[in-house]
Amino acid sequence: MRSRVGVVLPPSKLKERRKRARTVSIVVWSCAALLLCAAIVGFFYIPAFAIRDIQVEGVGSLSVESIQTRVQESLRGRRYLVFPKKNAFVYSDAAVASDLKTAFPKLDTIVVSLENFHSIKVVVTERKPYATFCGASPDVSQSPCLFLDVSGVAYEPAPDFSDNAYVRWYGGGALVSGARYLAEEKFRSVSALVDAFHSVKLEPVSTYVNEAEDVSVKDRSGLEVRFTLSRKPEEVLNLLRAALISEVLVGKALSSIEYIDLRFGNRLYYRLR
């Protein structure tokens, strides 16, 4: 019988064979990885998972169609240059809501939710007019004024009201739709105080807050009430009430008083016309 004798390859050929084996392995695994990536990407392009229905609820003056169109625009294109934004697994609630907020400053709250693999629901509320912002100061007014909502956000041009339907606010520089007049807490505080002026028979028509946070509220009669944002609203209202019934001002017509200044502690400063 013949005996088998193993063939011993030279080191150079053995090294070459191992190199070829590694190359083949790399090619095979690379192709497998590419096929896997293609399969994963292809999954996100399956029509069954593409958002095509957009339900909109809660609109008032805005149209459903305009919001649907904007959502469709925000779902166009790709995320990370590969995945379609309109895919139910890829789309972002926050991104759609942010885009709507930018496009429609009048929207106050926006909730976007996935209903199923091809449908999303957009529930919104619209801002309601509380006052108007009319410029950096009463001497530098702008036209048209912008509506302010109850939180102090400017959101759309306001008509030219001839009957002081809304209190006109000034200060804070130029505002554009979507910008905030004052920090919300400050605005709510001072606006509540301005509203409370009705309890002392005043009818505010304008409010001006300067850079030093001094506030000037003008009454329909022409009377100007001055105070600072740093004072508590109840203190200002109590001081104003005490001033109007003080010995020097009681019984005087509001139109005969040029201003009442409440910015200096418990001291009252006023000027008659």
Please give the CATH topology (third level) of the domain spanning 47-126. Answer: Ubiquitin-like (UB roll) (3.10.20)
Going by C-alpha positions, the residue among 180, 160, 159, 158 that lies closest to residue 171 is 180
User: Could you give the CA distance from residue 157 to residue 169 in angstroms, rounded to a whole number?
Assistant: 14
pLDDT tens per residue across span 122-168: 999 999 999 999 998 888 888 899 999 999 999 999 998 777 889 99
Residue 9 pLDDT: 56
Residue 12 pLDDT: 67
Domain at 131-272: CATH architecture: 3-Layer(aba) Sandwich (3.40)
Q: Are strands 78-79 and 83-84 parallel, antiparallel or unpaired?
A: antiparallel
DSSP string across 29-85: HHHHHHHHHHHHHHHTT-GGGB--EEEEE--SSS-HHHHHHHHHHHT-SEETTTEET
Between the CA of residue 226 and those of 22, 93, 105, 231, 271, what are the distances in Å? 85, 46, 32, 11, 12
User: Could you give the CA distance from residue 193 to residue 186 in angstroms, rounded to a whole number?
Assistant: 11
Burial of 160-184, coded b for 16+ CB within 10 Å and e otherwise, reads: eeeeeebbbbbbbeebeebbebbee
pLDDT over 70, % of the chain: 94
**Cβ atoms of residues 156 and 105 within 8 Å:** yes
Q: 99: pLDDT confidence band, cut at 50, 70 and 90?
A: very high
Domain boundaries, the chain: 47-126, 131-272
Residue 5 pLDDT: 54
In sequence order, the β-bridge partners of residue 208 are 170, 216
pLDDT above 70 for 220: yes
Output the pTM of the full model: 0.79
pLDDT above 80 for 198: yes
Between the CA of residue 42 and those of 47, 75, 119, what are the distances in Å? 10, 18, 20
Apex 29 CA angle, 26 and 33, nearest 5? 130
User: Could you give the CA distance from residue 89 to residue 44 in angstroms, rounded to a whole number?
Assistant: 8
Residue 6 pLDDT: 55
Task: Please report how many Cα atoms fall inside a 13 Å half-sphere around the Cα of residue 264, on the Cβ side.
Answer: 6
Q: Which position has the token pair 């201003």?
A: 259
